[in-house]
Amino acid sequence: GAETVLKLMGLFGENGDIEPSDITKMYELIFNEKERKQIAELNLKFNDFQTLVMTAVNLIIGEEDERGE
């Protein structure tokens, strides 16, 4: 919901910079425990994991933007 979107947006730095620890925080906000277990079983490399998380973030933030208009 909106609270999650605000938390996600708060993790972006002023220049849109994101630290690896921020990726983990976003991951924990977006995915529930069952989904995290399934993702962990994929044994993704960090770049692939980051792509997964950022794609989910973009989908969530995009959905909120569309509803707000």
Read off the tokens for 57: 């973030």
pLDDT number for residue 2: 80
Contact indicator for 4, 60 with CB cutoff of 8 Å: yes
The full DSSP string for 8-63 is HHHTS-TTS---HHHHHHHHHHHS-HHHHHHHHTT---HHHHHHHHHHHHHHHHHH
pLDDT number for residue 16: 72
pTM of this prediction? 0.78
Helix (H, G, I), strand (E, B) or coil at 1: coil
Predicted confidence band at 4 (pLDDT cuts at 50, 70, 90)?
confident
